[in-house]
Amino acid sequence: MAKMIHSMVRVLDEKRSVDFYSLAFGLNVAERVEQETFTLVYMSDEEESFELELTINRGRDVPYALGDGYGHLAVSVDNLDAEHARLIEAGLAPGKIIEFVRKDDVFARYFFICDPDGYKIEVLERRGRFK
């Protein structure tokens, strides 16, 4: 059976993106791989083996067109309200908290935040299927 190991996003500014993912989600640089025309930065945390790969293409100064195919990354947190407040305090401008009710029960509580390149990240409260 296949195991999901990472997701990759292309970013313009390595430091800005590393700082964002570190501050917003506690990810740390696990490895940095320099190549002639690009750099790969693998970020992870101590809880999971899944990594986020940031790809920085040298010489690129035009923002990437995210198109209409990209949806979002998702992370889960124990205390959604506290994380939302922390991100506001950090100046990262998360969206409003949403409660998704299905069959008279809260299926999910979440909000979205965008990284410096405009990639959406869904922040879900740990409950039900979102662990």
- Strands of the chain (E only): list them: 6-10, 28-34, 38-44, 51-57, 73-77, 98-102, 105-114, 120-125
Query: What does the block give as tokens for 105?
Result: 């029960």
CB atoms within 10 A of CB 83: 21
- Radius of gyration of the chain, Cα coordinates, nearest whole angstrom: 16
DSSP 8-state secondary structure symbol assigned to residue 48: -
Cα–Cα distance list, 112 to 87, 94, 96 (Å): 11, 6, 8
Establish whether 47 is a catalytic residue. no
Give the ranges where 1-131 is alpha helix by DSSP (H).
14-25, 80-89
Residues catalogued as catalytic: 122
